Each structure stands twice: as structure tokens, then as C-alpha cells.
Amino acid sequence: MTKTTINSPQSPHWVDKVVEQILAWQKKQSVKKLHVDDMKTPSGRVHVGALRGVMLHDIVAKALQAQQQSTKSTYVFNDMDPMDGLPAYLNEQEYQQHMGKPLCKIPPPQLDKSGIDFSQATAAEKKQYQQAKSFAHFYALDFIAAFRQLGCSQKIVWSHQLYESGQMDKVIKIALDKTELIKQVYQKIANYELPANWHPFQVNCEQCGKVGTTLVTAWDGQQVTYECQPNKVDWAQGCGHQGKVSPFGGTGKLLWKVDWPAHWVAMGVNIEGAGKDHTSAGGSRDMANALLEKVFESIVPFDIPYEWILLRGAKMSSSKGVGTSAREFTQLLPAELGRFLFVNKHYNQVIDFDPQTMAIPDLFDEYDQAAQIFWQQEPGDERLGRAFELSQLKTVPKAHFLPRFRDLALWMQHPELDLAEEFEKIKGSALTKPELQVLADRQHYAQLWVNRYAPAEYQLGATSEIPAAAKQLSAAQKKYLQQVDQLLDSQANWDPQELQQQLFELAKKTLGARQAFQAIYLAFLGKKSGPRAAWFLLEIDPKLRKQRIKEVQKKQ
Ligand SMILES: [Zn+2]
């Protein structure tokens, strides 16, 4: 088997195929410099779904950069967009006054009222958020942290800076000059009849600061005339102000459907994929393409229409659930594994991921298999090997031993086991320093999985509540547990080996070892077996242990 190289024509991986198509398209269109871009309106905590686009564009941009170093890769935050809805976690009274204002002009929320969990954040991180310049900036920070964690390195562009710096002035003028033509495009593409006084621009009201409520009624080539209407939209109330202002330099913005292609022209973007919600016939993508050709007379960017990522499970949908937001999702997996999830699936297929099933251990298994194929340790699907290569954040690591995630998750709950030793048995030699590091890293994620998502058979820690199975305990077993409690109290620093021996001796004298050890597992795990008894008992908080043994005595 030969190693796949970036963009080798025979590579079966979708990334390489997309790159090939782009390079062929570039030649045909005589495009000099490639520029990959993606955009998002930061109107609150960013949902994990938005990661699909960021990842796709980063993966494609990096594969292109391997061919053409000059390829640009940007991510635009559309922070000139108005606040047109309030996420449930925000204080309605506090934000009602800001509805309709541009997101870049609204103050950021307080940390504890933002809907973002800062319990694990460092002081420096918190400070960064406290210094956020706006509402948009605040939530963008959270999303940027998430995709940086996954190794995405797009250059961030703030839409308000494009407007304020004058970079959008030229396209604003074109759009206003060609208002009639834009109307015709709306009619043709979306069968949408626009009113006679419609213009593709909205002013930030000079009196109340709102943009969602204003209507431009005239354009004289220099200035726009506008009204801030009380009833234009049902989510914000305008102040009634009427005025005349230059549309240039950040006094307002183009309407969304025109704004999107206008950004492409102003920035020189020529590759931008869109999620399937934009790609329907007559949808915003069709509109953007038509406006580019007819109004801005520019080439239509290369499109990569991509599918969703679905995250399932009850814990996912609750407002405080882990994994709901992009940031929380990135905490579930090491960065390479998170990347692998996106790289491995073709962009036109849905990623359906439910952490409450065996999805996480399965993903680790597939990743390990991909690594072994890439390292030529086993034959297999070359596409999978390439997916491993594309998932790396920095250089691709040299071949090494990978401890199996699901084994680790189980074994780490057996306090009597030395994990490095166990995996050395499987490897057949000592673990190297980098391998020990991988083991430690995976242990962190395995612990997280066990605590939050693992099915019952993977949970071997003492339960916090008395298990239903404790009902099965016989009188003799209950008595044995009382004796165990006394035995444990008789010494402060038990040696587990010594304790195991004593537990065994005690059992032999009374109900026999099998029944005795089952008693321990039934009382603390609700199972008939578990980790070695002495090590297991010594891991349990003495308060919980005493309480539990007392409780089981009462159960019939
Ligand atoms: Zn107003």
C-alpha cells in the first residue's frame, strides 16, 4: 500500500476530490488567488451545528494551502445584523431596549447571565469576556474558542470593521444604483415582488440606534432618505425619526440577501460553501449567485453545499445540557478526534452523533483503525488512513501504541489495576513517553464519558443512591457488610492487599467468599461483580460507605 499524499489524483478522500475540483475550476475561471470564507451572525451562544461549516472550510483551505500557499482563509462575523430575537437564557427586561439594534452596538451580557458556563474558566479567560466590546463580540469569543480548540485557523473578520473602514462603500453604491435590477433578480429567482420604495440598504437610525426598524425610501446618489418605523417588524419598535444620511462608512448595512454576495465582492472571496438551509432552489444562495452575476458582475464563488451535524440525546437538548453549544461539544473529545468526526464523513452526509450511546468509544476505535492504516500497520481503506492524516492539528505523529478507549474507561474504574502495566501487556513492551501522554489524555476523556454518558455496564464507581438491586441482599450478606464496616474502621491506612486478605478470611468464616463479595457489589454498584473488593472499598468516601451499609440493613 502506498501512502496517500495531499491531492494525489487517486486519493479516494472527499477532501482531495474537492481540492481537485477547485483547482480545475480556478484554471477555467482564471482565478489568481484562492480565498476561502464562511460567515455567521453571532446572535447568542453558538450551537454545535455551526461547527460543520467552520470545520469544512478549514479542512478544505488547509488542503488547498498545501498546494497554493497564498490561499486565504477567513471567517466573517456578521455583527452589523440586528438583534431580532432573544435566547431564553438572557434577561428579557434588560435586552428588550436593544432589540433591532446592530449586534456590534449592544453591550455584552454579564458572565453569570450569559448562558455560558464559566465554572471551569480561568481568570484570564473571564477577563477576556468581561472586556468584550459588544454583544456580538462576546458570543463570537465563545465560538472562536471552540473552533480554535479544534485546530481551525481562519482569520477573523468583523463585518462592522469592513463597513466602517469604507471597504464596503463601492458595493453599497453599486447596490443602491442598481436597486431596480436587484428587484428584478428577486422577482426572477424567488418570485418575490418588492414594493416600489424598496432599497437594498438599512440605516442605523441616528436617533434610536436601531437598524431593524428603518426603511430607506430614496437614494440620490449621495445620501439615502430613511424612516425609522414603529411597526416595521414585530420584534422591535422604531422611534419614528426621519432623516437623510450618507450610506457609506458604517452608517448602516446592506440587506442580508445582498449583504452576503457584497461581502464576497468586497473581500475577494471565491470559495464559500453553504449549509443546506441556504441551498434550496430560489433560496439565499441562488439569490446571492444571481446578484453576483447580474448586479456586481463578478464571478460566482465555488460552492460546497454541506449537510448538518445532529447531536442527539436528552442531555443535548436541555438548555444547560453538555454539548449543546459548540464550546461544550469540543470538551467531549480530544481535538484530533473532534476533527476526525468531521473529516471522516463526506460533507454531503449528515453527521448523527449521540454521546449517550457508544458513539464516543466507536469514534475512538475508528480513529485508531485509521491511524493503523495510515501507519501501514494493517491493510484497509485508504480513505480512512487519509482521514487520520487530515485530522491532525500539527505534524502527523509517528506510529505508536494507542490504548483502546473502551478498555481504558472500564479499567480505570478498577483501582487495583495499574493502567500503564495493563496496556504494556497488550503492547508487549514498555510504553514510551509519548504513549504514556496519550494514555493520560485519553483517561481524561474516558472519565468524562463514564461520568456523563456511559451505559450502566461501563460505570463501576459507587452509586450515589442506594441501588435497587440491594433488595436482593440476604440477612447473612447484610451482616457481612456490617462486619466489613467495622473492619475498615479498625485501621486508618489500609494496605489494599492486606485488606483483601482480611475480607477473604472474614468471608470464609461466615457465608463464603462468593456471597460475601457479591454483597459488596450489590450494595454499592447494584451489580453482582465489580473491581477488586478491597481497592474498590478504599475508593469509596467513608461517609457514603457507612451511610450505605446502614441503609441496606433497613431494606427488606
Ligand atoms: Zn429610530
As for how many domains the chain has, the answer is: 3
CB distance 472 to 481 below 8 Å:
no
Flag whether 33 is in a domain: no
Measure 96 CA to ligand 1 centroid, in angstroms.
15
Measure 95 CA to ligand 1 centroid, in angstroms.
16
Residues 454 and 503 in one domain: no
How far is Cα 407 from Cα 254, in angstroms, rounded to an integer? 55
Measure 69 CA to ligand 1 centroid, in angstroms.
47
Pinpoint the alpha helices (H) of 76-122.
Answer: 92-96
Measure 227 CA to ligand 1 centroid, in angstroms.
8
pLDDT in tens, 469-497: 999 999 999 999 999 999 999 988 899 99
Judged by average pLDDT, the poorest of 165-179, 314-328, 414-428 is 314-328
Instruction: Calculate the alpha carbon distances from 43 to 79, 132, 136, 152, 227 in Å.
Output: 8, 14, 6, 21, 25
Domain boundary among 254, 269, 288: 254
Domain boundary among 460, 487, 511: 460
Measure 233 CA to ligand 1 centroid, in angstroms.
13
Residues 477 and 437 in one domain: no
The pocket of ion ligand 1, defined by CB under 5 A, consists of 205, 207-208, 228, 238-239, 241
What letter represents residue 468's amino acid?
Answer: A
Measure 226 CA to ligand 1 centroid, in angstroms.
10
Q: In what order do the strands lie in the sheet with 72-77?
A: 35-40, 72-77, 155-158
Flag whether 281 is in a domain: no
Domain boundary among 229, 254, 279: 254
CB distance 142 to 116 below 8 Å:
yes
How far is Cα 236 from Cα 95, in angstroms, rounded to an integer? 11
3-state helix, strand, coil in the chain (%, to 5): 50, 10, 40
pLDDT in tens, 139-172: 999 999 999 999 999 999 999 999 999 999 999 9
**Closest to 381 measured CA to CA, from 394, 372, 393:** 372
Judged by average pLDDT, the poorest of 129-133, 317-321, 460-464 is 317-321
Measure 206 CA to ligand 1 centroid, in angstroms.
7
Measure 190 CA to ligand 1 centroid, in angstroms.
30
Measure 543 CA to ligand 1 centroid, in angstroms.
63
Grid cell at residue 108: 455584552
Q: What CATH number did the domain enclosing 487 receive?
A: 1.10.10.350
How far is Cα 364 from Cα 405, in angstroms, rounded to an integer? 6
Measure 238 CA to ligand 1 centroid, in angstroms.
5
CB distance 478 to 519 below 8 Å:
yes
Burial of 291 from C-beta contacts in 10 A (0-12 / 13-18 / 19+): buried
Phi, psi (rounded to 5 degrees) for 75: -135, 120
How far is Cα 366 from Cα 379, in angstroms, rounded to an integer? 14
Number of H helices, E strands in the chain: 23, 10
Grid cell at residue 512: 463464603
Residues 436 and 479 in one domain: no
Residues 474 and 544 in one domain: yes
Over its C-alpha atoms, the chain yields an Rg (Å, rounded) of: 30
Q: What is the pLDDT of residue 313?
A: 57
Residues 512 and 533 in one domain: yes
Residue numbers of the domain that contains 533:
468-554
Q: What is the pLDDT of residue 494?
A: 93
Residues 487 and 545 in one domain: yes
Residues 442 and 485 in one domain: no
Flag whether 488 is in a domain: yes
Grid cell at residue 376: 501501514
pLDDT exceeds cutoff 70 at 190 = yes
Instruction: Calculate the alpha carbon distances from 366 to 168, 253, 337, 404 in Å.
Output: 46, 47, 10, 11
Flag whether 526 is in a domain: yes
Residues 489 and 454 in one domain: no
Measure 215 CA to ligand 1 centroid, in angstroms.
10
Measure 164 CA to ligand 1 centroid, in angstroms.
20
Flag whether 476 is in a domain: yes
Residues 454 and 497 in one domain: no
pLDDT in tens, 420-470: 999 999 999 999 999 999 999 999 999 999 888 888 778 888 888 999 999
Measure 186 CA to ligand 1 centroid, in angstroms.
27
Measure 139 CA to ligand 1 centroid, in angstroms.
25
Average pLDDT, integer, range 216-240: 97
Residues 410 and 478 in one domain: no
Residues 480 and 434 in one domain: no
Measure 203 CA to ligand 1 centroid, in angstroms.
9
**Angle at the Cα of 78 from the Cα atoms of 92 and 38, rounded to 5 degrees:** 130
Residues 475 and 432 in one domain: no
Q: What is the pLDDT of residue 279?
A: 75
Measure 259 CA to ligand 1 centroid, in angstroms.
22
Burial of 199 from C-beta contacts in 10 A (0-12 / 13-18 / 19+): buried
Measure 106 CA to ligand 1 centroid, in angstroms.
15
Flag whether 220 is in a domain: yes
Position 90 confidence tier, pLDDT thresholds 50, 70, 90: very high
Flag whether 537 is in a domain: yes
Measure 547 CA to ligand 1 centroid, in angstroms.
65
DSSP H or E run through 7: none
Flag whether 529 is in a domain: yes
Grid cell at residue 524: 454499592
